Amino acid sequence: MTLVPHFVAGRKTPGDSGRTQDVFNPVEGEVSAQVPLATAEEVAQAVTAAEEAFPAWSGLNAQRRARILLKWVDLITENMDELATLLSNEHGKTFPDAKGDIQRGVEVVEFAAGAPHLLKGEFSSGAGTGIDVHSLRQPLGVVAGITPFNFPAMIPLWKAGIALAAGNTFVLKPSERDPSVPVRLAELAVEAGMPAGALNVVHGDKTAVDALIEDPRVRAIGFVGSSPIAQSIYSAAAAQNKRAQCFGGAKNHMVIMPDADLEQAADALIGAAFGSAGERCMAISVAVPVGEATADRLRALLEERIATLTLGPSLEPSSDFGPVVSAQAKERIESYIAAGEKEGAELVVDGRGATVDGHPNGFWVGATLFDHVTTDMSIYREEIFGPVLCIARAADYEEALRLPSEHEYGNGVAIFTRDGDTARDFTTRVEVGMVGVNVPIPVPIAYYTFGGWKASGFGDLNQHGTDGLKFYTKTKTVTTRWPSGTKEGASFVMPAGS
């Protein structure tokens, strides 16, 4: 059985905990590898490796670090097909979608290579008589990322790329469900010229997470996962006086106005709801058509499109989407479908019992569509994280605006309309962190920040963009005065600014 190793101090290591977890190929429903689950001591060894690498890595000027990051980008691009195949085989998303996962991560590393400019401090000459003031942005030291299964390349690259550009060293605890890509990325980082120990990967469960939180040498924690765990890690990190940037669940809505191009809106919904089998934190899971005529027409268009979707193997070019990541995920999603039916929603298309020829044991869940979903139903309130789309009809614009604004989650939302005034009002008033106008999955580009509101995000700084660099640096302000030769004697008054 293949073992996916840890990667510590520039070397692969199998670990010695004696505890492992199976890694599945979700298309076949079979174990493809095992991953070791680190002990607290093994996590400490990874932190030590990062701590020892910090002086050399932070001692490089930002431009030299940037060159290594750009070489890393080149190597990731050269090995894109290999990485995407690894990703597809462990996650289940299609090969083109896997390449997109990697590319969106690469774009943030490319942004981070601008650190020589982005890390510049401020300077004020003559802030007082003979006094200058300037600020420095300095790395924190060793920082850690705890990342989810659904983007095994993108989110590790988002976190590590920014942190490393700022001069920190990094310990990554990726999902144990699809661990191979993070290890390969760390190998390529060393090949690019990053010192051994600058980027480390340790696999594990709660034991490893707790060890990262409790180790005083780890100065910041970045997390993406479910909201309860995000809040728990945020609180635990704060209690340890660590910075924390923790992102949780989502229930992303898409409002469809009567004036929208409904064909375009239906196409957008199909891709946003069922791409990657719905296992995206930015997937659209609630469609909110305004008015009965809009809802009826939209539903008909969605039914037509769902009937043509191809559920199939991840590496098969004809597949629109592949399996979900695990048997447990399949069971959970199907339990939500049963609950929605029991609670009174109209099950228009049922994805349970989906099969794919030649792959009888795969973790298949077909595209599922509910209509007449109400806000008291579990399929509306809770994150399903699967290929399930709910239609929640709104009588008018104000009701449509309230639905995402009043939901527990505030990650992403979209509106489809031809009316600029409506779009402007919506983007201003909706209580959600990321908004799309005729864009179904409003994931910001690398030089803007990514993050949700309410139960979708804990912490005051978001991922990538300039927020990422602020999160991974500390500011030092220096006030300078050079003696003029004139003795002034002691002063007992708080000095003024001028």
Chain segment 396-411, per-residue pLDDT in tens: 999 999 999 999 999 9
Tokens of 451: 């993050």
Q: What is the DSSP letter of 10?
A: T
Residue-averaged pLDDT of the chain:
96
So what's the pLDDT on residue 15?
87
Residue 281 appears among annotated catalytic residues: yes
Topology of domain 252-437, per CATH? Aldehyde Dehydrogenase; Chain A, domain 2 (3.40.309)
- Maximum pairwise Cα distance, the chain: 90
Determine the average pLDDT of the residues in 314-341: 98
Domain residue ranges in the chain: 2-248+456-479, 252-437
So what's the pLDDT on residue 358?
97
Decide if 113 contacts 296 (C-beta within 8 A): no
DSSP 3-state of 111: helix
pLDDT one-digit tens code per residue, 89-118: 999 999 999 999 999 999 999 999 999 999
The residue type found at 253 is H
So what's the pLDDT on residue 498?
56
Determine the average pLDDT of the residues in 251-278: 98
pLDDT one-digit tens code per residue, 154-195: 999 999 999 999 999 999 999 999 999 999 999 999 999 999
CA gyration radius, the chain? 25
Residue 5, pLDDT above cutoff 80:
yes
DSSP 3-state of 24: strand
d(CA 297, CA 362): 34
d(CA 401, CA 396): 9
CA dihedral for 343, 344, 346, 350, sign (positive or negative): positive
Residue 495, pLDDT above cutoff 80:
no
pLDDT tier at 46 (50, 70, 90 boundaries)? very high
So what's the pLDDT on residue 411?
96
Q: Which of 108, 281, 302, 430 is catalytic?
A: 281
Determine the Cα angle at 108 with ends 464 and 9, to 5°.
Answer: 95
Topology of domain 2-248+456-479, per CATH? Aldehyde Dehydrogenase; Chain A, domain 1 (3.40.605)
Share of the chain above pLDDT 90, in %: 92
The neighbour count for residue 111, using CB atoms within 10 Å, is 24
So what's the pLDDT on residue 497?
61
Decide if 48 contacts 171 (C-beta within 8 A): no
The residue type found at 414 is A
